[in-house]
A and B are shown apart, each in its own frame.
Chain A
Amino acid sequence: MSIIRIKNLHKVYSQKQIPVKALNGVDLTFDEGEFTALVAPSGAGKTTFLNLLGGLDLPTEGSVEIGGVRIDQLSSAEKTKFRLTNIGFVFQAYNLIPVLTASENIEFIMELQGISKRERAVRSRELLEAVGIPDKANVRPLQLSGGQQQRVAVARALASKPKFVLADEPTANLDSKSTENLLDIMLQLNKKENITFIFATHDARVVKMARRVITFEDGKVINDEVR
């Protein structure tokens, strides 16, 4: 059953003199439990697509429906709430709140959701274990390696028990070893907990692991294959 339906999605950035057509009519559906890579060179509209999917920006045309909710029609406050409970984000870098420790970063999301202190502590420990760095609970992001930071980011993205995780080039700043580790962890979570992952990437190592690969070019889907 598809949880995400995207119809005729267009996005035109017109702040500058020449309007930029970042998305040019995208139709896609995503099912629960997918492990999907959006592949495209830089500037092809990957980030734009994920931002629209996550309700961080408004489409110029078209609709985004998640679990029956038209999120492009929600108010800004409703979208924030929707993100908090339905979507986990992992960005390329600077994902974490620098003044909070790894476990505090994870717990913060849960605190925003109103989860009790006790439960927060338990879940943050579980998540740090799941991403393989239980010993880094009390370390601040700047003392962690890039790979460790991204693992905390994944743990944080999962803290709110979201319907799916959107990751925008999560491995762009990582070496091969860290990339492999991070992908392993995400694949494990996908298999064990049936968490839906959607990546934007142009990293061949990520593409290799994906079960579905969607290729973008000039704001359009040019290829969509399931392996």
Chain B
Amino acid sequence: MILKIAWRNIWRNPLRSWIVIAALIVGMYAGVFTTTFMYGWMMQRLKSGIETETSHIQIQKPGFKLAEDVNLFFESDTLIRDLERQGDIVCASGRLVVSAMVASAEKAVGIQVLGVDAGKDSLVVDVSEKLVEGAWFSGVKRHPVVVGQELAKELKLKLRSKLIVRFQDCNGDFTGGAFRVAGIFKTNNTGFDGGNMFVRDADLQKLLLIPKGMSHQIVIRCTDPTRVDIVRNSIEQFAKGLRVESWREISPELGYITETMNAYMYVFVMIILMALGFGVVNTMLMVVMERVHEIGMLMAIGMKRHQIFQMIVYETSMLALVGGLIGVAAGIITTHWTGKSGINLSMWAEGLAEMGYDSIIYPQYNFQMVSGVVGLVLFTGLVASVYPAIKALKLNPSQALQSV
């Protein structure tokens, strides 16, 4: 019955309770929606980072970084065949990678040239789906190249424009070739679009003088994105002498996104709750002061101190929970709703794309996050109740009964 008393006590002063509840609703709504918004945004970045740029797993020779040393290639055909026999892998595709200078009629810039298997590479990453003009290596017969929109802009390239690519072959001699633009892609990340271009592996292989069946890198797509680390470890067992890395190792900043987001959310929600918690404490202190006589009466008729304490704790926690839960629920509903249509930030989003972030944001939440927030609300209610409850405990029954 203590619970019943506590619940009904909340509604003795409905206006005051509703003000506290409304504050909690607004606070928690803002807290939840902001975090789901940020989370959705980050997850989009993560997803496009993995699915467009890094792939799930990469295999390279140790020391091969930044496409600097063209001699660090390895025999890849048999390894790819072995990999694809594994159930966990959708596709594995070999790549040649070289740092180059690329020049159009206008000017020259440094770039990373990726020699890919036109058919298989698009099963691993989705650049081929991000074309804004032209096609993935078709439409140009000799030396087709697919460039990013950013590079195209910089070099004033159009479809079928010719560009000259210069690099060192595997003997250390300067070489190069002329390529023609077959397609132009645009991802969320302008940095990626400006720094990478795709050519056919056979074309690059001839220019680099690297034998057939060799690659600098194998990119892999796993069936289950949550099992990437397990697959990576099992590949490491038989890819002897090679370095196997998951996207987390290739792009640590992507891996931190989830962790950072969780920490960010907890800090953010805790700050909001702390502010709201003071409001709750204040209200409950008023409640205790108003009910001094009543508490004295309860003590006189035989209610134990811990039961009085319990009553105040229940009342405070329920007050916090009602507001908190409505706010969280409203936040989730909004997330759900905007998560489908997305929120278009493109009017303000000039700079976002440069950092690889989408300008249409689809808020997202996960169970762990929501239960964490609900837990924090409950925790706040409990903490906020301690001081008023102690105040109530300290009352002396005979004096409490004298106050009106």
Contacts and interface: CB of A to CB of B under 8 A. Distances in A.
A binds B: yes
Interface of A: 47, 51, 54, 56-57, 76-77, 80-81, 83-85, 89, 91, 94-95, 97-100, 104, 107-109, 111-113, 156, 160
Contacts of B307: 112
B302 A80 contact: yes
Contact of A84 (B1, B5, B294, B302): B302
Nearest to B400: A56
B299 interface: yes
A160 B297 contact: no
Nearest to A111: B1
Contacts of A107: 1
B301 A89 contact: yes
Nearest to A157: B301
Interface string B1-13: 1001100110010
Q: Kindly name the residue among B294, B303, B398 whose own CB sees the greatest number of chain A CB atoms within 10 A.
A: B398
A111 B5 CA distance: 13
B216 interface: no
A81 B4 CA distance: 22
A94 B294 CA distance: 7
A77 B301 contact: no
B9 A108 contact: no
Contacts of A94: 293-294, 297
B311 to A, nearest CB: 10
Contact of B301 (A76, A83, A104): A83
Contact of A56 (B1, B303, B304, B401): B401
Contacts, number: 68
Given A56-B299, A56-B397, A57-B398, 17 more contacts: A56-B300, A56-B401, A83-B300, A83-B301, A91-B401, A94-B294, A97-B297, A98-B12, A98-B294, A99-B12, A100-B5, A108-B1, A109-B302, A111-B1, A112-B302, A112-B304, A160-B302
5 contacts: A47-B402, A77-B305, A80-B304, A97-B298, A104-B4
A51 B402 CA distance: 11
Q: Interface on chain A toward B: helix, strand, loop, or mixed SS? A: helix
B297 A91 contact: yes
B233 interface: no
A112 B300 contact: no
B303 A80 contact: yes
B304 A81 contact: yes
Interface in B20-74: none
Contacts of B297: 89, 91, 94-95, 97
Interface of B: 1, 4-5, 8-9, 12, 293-294, 297-305, 307, 396-398, 401-402
Contacts of A156: 301
A57 B396 contact: yes
B398 A51 contact: yes
Contacts of A56: 299-300, 397-398, 401
A107 B300 CA distance: 16
Nearest to A110: B1
A57 B297 CA distance: 13
B7 to A, nearest CB: 9
Contacts of A80: 299, 302-305
B316 to A, nearest CB: 16
Given A84-B301, A91-B297, A94-B294, A99 B397 contact: no
Nearest 3 Cβ contacts at the A-B interface = A84-B302, A99-B8, A57-B398
A141 B300 CA distance: 18
Contacts of A109: 301-302
Q: Kindly name the residue among B12, B297, B301 whose own CB sees the greatest number of chain A CB atoms within 10 A.
A: B301
Contacts of A89: 297, 300-301
B8 to A, nearest CB: 4
Nearest to B10: A99
Contacts of B8: 99-100
B302 A97 contact: no
A116 to B, nearest CB: 13
B300 A104 contact: no
Nearest to A107: B1
A173 to B, nearest CB: 12
Contacts of B294: 94, 97-98
B85 to A, nearest CB: 68
A95 B299 CA distance: 12
Q: Kindly name the residue among A85, A100, A156 whose own CB sees the greatest number of chain B CB atoms within 10 A.
A: A100
B14 to A, nearest CB: 13
A85 B293 CA distance: 22
Q: Kindly name the residue among B299, B302, B397 whose own CB sees the greatest number of chain A CB atoms within 10 A.
A: B302
Given A94-B294, A97-B294, A112-B307, A54 B300 contact: yes
Nearest to B296: A56
B302 A81 contact: yes
A77 B304 CA distance: 7
A107 B1 CA distance: 9
A97 B5 contact: yes
